[in-house]
Structure 1
Amino acid sequence: MKVSAPALLPLLRSQAQGEILAWVFLTPGEHSIVDIARAINIPETTVLREIDRLTATGFVLERRQGRSRLITPNPDNPATQPLTALLAITFGPAHVLRQHLATLDGVDYAAIYGSWAARATGAPGQPPADIDLLVVGEPSRTDLYELAEDASTTLRRPVNATVVDRATWLAGTDPFVATVRERPLITLIDNLHQARGA
């Protein structure tokens, strides 16, 4: 079966390759093969194959801890910095925003929608000019907009945050909510699953 190149960065072989690279290069710290596979929901064999390529070519370093291989980007490789910047721009929004939102109280659900979500799910088109962020709940608007501004710097494009209260999102009848729900969404945080299952 032929695997399509990802719409976010068609220079890569596959969406899975992009997700693996983004996790390794954009998530601070060391990560085992199992951790990477679990975090991005990609089979361990696929992650292992990609990490073997990256290790053999000097893009990542590995440290053994028992039976685990702990992976980090190679800071001495001259390609590390530009590759990290490229991944931040293309595959980075989900990783960067998930990390930023983890520090924000009052978030019941958060997702990226709009053109970036469409590209991330394989729809062809021009590179997204901005990132549309939906936050459901009652976060501090000041903190959220500061977070969006910080993320914009990393992602090199504006992050536009929209807040919807929990009841409006769950009802799904608001025209904006209905439109967003019909289109691709990349979920970042979901604390509403129990409410939806009730």
Structure 2
Amino acid sequence: MSIQNLSEHLEIPYATVHREVGRLLEAGLITEEKVGNYRLIGPNKQSPYYRPLSELLEIASGPVPLLREALEGVDGVQEVVIFGSWAHRALGHRGPAPEDIDVLVIGQPDVGKVYAACSRVTKKLGWPVNPTIMSVDEWHEDTPFLRNVRAGGVLNVIDS
């Protein structure tokens, strides 16, 4: 990615991004390649800091992008939401730190593939990911469980 693209994507002034890129280059955390008039930057995968920093970023960004990536390719998945304590905290409600991630997978997916995908996310994040699978018709029902899920708030991972 070029410094200009990064500046536009982050909506941060070019001068600020340019200065920080210089610091990251000096620290050996990123690499630079000149292509024409562009300076393309990327992670320095040879740095001893690469793995711990990438793991920290995965945890800090939360489970949404990891779950999206893991479940988008599973046939039959129409919608995915995070509910429970993780969603509740992410939506700004107070309470103890979540101990797991409750995920509602809506559609007619292969159960084994859903559990395998959630297992991969569990390994990356270090928090158990607990999928509940239901059909679209079940999702639209008015059950005590779903009233509780909706009342607590949900984070959309994949929209239909």
- If the TM-score is normalised by the length of the shorter chain, which range does it land in? 0.7 to 0.9
- Structure 2 counterpart of 1:132, which letter? D
- Structure 2 counterpart of 1:185, which letter? V
Q: Which has the larger radius of gyration?
A: 2
TM-score of the aligned structures, taking structure 2 as reference length: 0.76
Of the three residues 32, 55, 60, the one matched with 2:21 is: 55
**1:116/1:63 CA distance change after superposition, 3 Å:** farther
Q: Give 1:79-94 correspondences, 5 Å limit.
A: 79-94=49-64
TM-score of the aligned structures, taking structure 1 as reference length: 0.64
**CA drift at 1:159:** 0.7
Unaligned runs of 5+ in 2: none
**CA drift at 1:94:** 1.0
Cα RMSD (Å): 3.0
Q: Distance in 1 between matches of 2:104 and 2:16?
A: 32
Identity %: 34
Q: Give 1:124-139 correspondences, 5 Å limit.
A: 124-139=94-109
**CA drift at 1:97:** 0.8
**1:48/1:158 CA distance change after superposition, 3 Å:** farther
2:144 is aligned to 175
Number of residue equivalences: 154
Q: What's the CA shift string for 1:144-198, capped at 9, x where partnerless?
A: 1111112111111211000121012124x1111121112232211111xxxxxxx
**1:146/1:130 CA distance change after superposition, 3 Å:** same
Unaligned runs of 5+ in 1: 1-29, 38-43, 192-198
Large movers: runs of 4+ above 6 Å = 47-50, 64-69
Q: Distance in 2 between matches of 1:73 and 1:63?
A: 11
